[in-house]
Amino acid sequence: MAKIPPGPPLEGLRRQIARHRREHPGRRDKLFVRETFRLERSAARAKAREWFETWPKAAYWTEVESWRQLEGDEIEFTMRRLPSAD
């Protein structure tokens, strides 16, 4: 049986992440623009299509971040994109 080598020490990485989070509070929330919708299925498809046409995936990393089907034919979904294409 092969012995698994120990993983790399992570304390330095933990300190670096903690320092970055202290120096840039709230940055995580500003990285992406998110909007949640609750629409009938065909309206939900149209809204998602509108987002992809307005903010193309290649430039804005647009995507349906999450979705779920509710009672009836209603869909709740969250769209996500970068604030700019720069």
Residue 78 lies in a domain: yes
Residue pLDDT, tens place only, 5-60 = 777 777 887 788 788 778 776 655 568 999 999 999 999 999 999 999 999 999 99
Say which CATH number the domain at 36 has.
3.30.30
What token pair was written down for 37?
């919708």
Residue 71 lies in a domain: yes
Residue 8 lies in a domain: no
Under DSSP, the state recorded for 3 is P
User: CB–CB of 83/35 below 8 Å?
Assistant: no
Predicted TM-score (pTM) of this structure: 0.65
| Surface-to-core class of residue 85, CB atoms within 10 Å of its CB (0-12 exposed, 13-18 middle, 19+ buried) | exposed
Residue 38 lies in a domain: yes
Instruction: List the 33-40 sheet strands across, edge first.
Output: 33-40, 74-81, 63-69
Residue 82, domain extent? 32-86
The amino acid sitting at 54 is T
Residue 62 lies in a domain: yes
Distance separating alpha carbons of residues 63 and 78, to the nearest angstrom: 9
How many domains does one find in the chain? 1
pLDDT value, residue 86 = 74
Residue 27 lies in a domain: no
